[in-house]
Chains A and B, each alone.
Chain A
Amino acid sequence: LAKTTQPISMDSYEGQEVNITCSHNNIATNDYITWYQQFPSQGPRFIIQGYKTKVTNEVASLFIPADRKSSTLSLPRVSLSDTAVYYCLVGPHSGTGGFKTIFGAGTRLFVKA
């Protein structure tokens, strides 16, 4: 499984755009990139998933360059409630081989007023 590297922590202010970059140099051909958000005392919650180029949903965008060795989660106009830990996961989607996923330490985002 591809190992991921993220910044340990980031600070931001309300209303700003936040970009969290994840490095995954050993990503395999059939690996997808998935981001989760976790609040204290809660289980992780899915944010966004992609394979290549750009993916956008109602809460975030995911930018993946052509070589797929990194990805960037973009959170537009963050609010205090976006303070959480964000995890980048890289792993295969295999119906027969299993769905092993590895959560790293994540990035602790702290949004200030």
Chain B
Amino acid sequence: EPEVTQTPSHQVTQMGQEVILRCVPISNHLYFYWYRQILGQKVEFLVSFYNNEISEKSEIFDDQFSVERPDGSNFTLKIRSTKLEDSAMYFCASTPLYQETQYFGPGTRLLVL
């Protein structure tokens, strides 16, 4: 069964550094999402993306964040200058056209030191 994949599974970075988290959505899906989950807290929506543009973003998704679909398969989340509070699990999800079920990847655990 097709799955959403994410790389890396773990990333450690220094505060102020840029990080790029990568996702490969399921191949025929057209809607893409990023969520994050700070340790012990709820899963929070960051951004949704369709037709090469952001459809919706949360208050968390400020100017430090950006998303891109650089080619036909990857979907990336960039954090320009990481802060300690960006430490979290980041989940990518995707949805096919005419369906509304979101399928999640296994996540990337980001630790900012």
Do A and B originate from a single complex? no
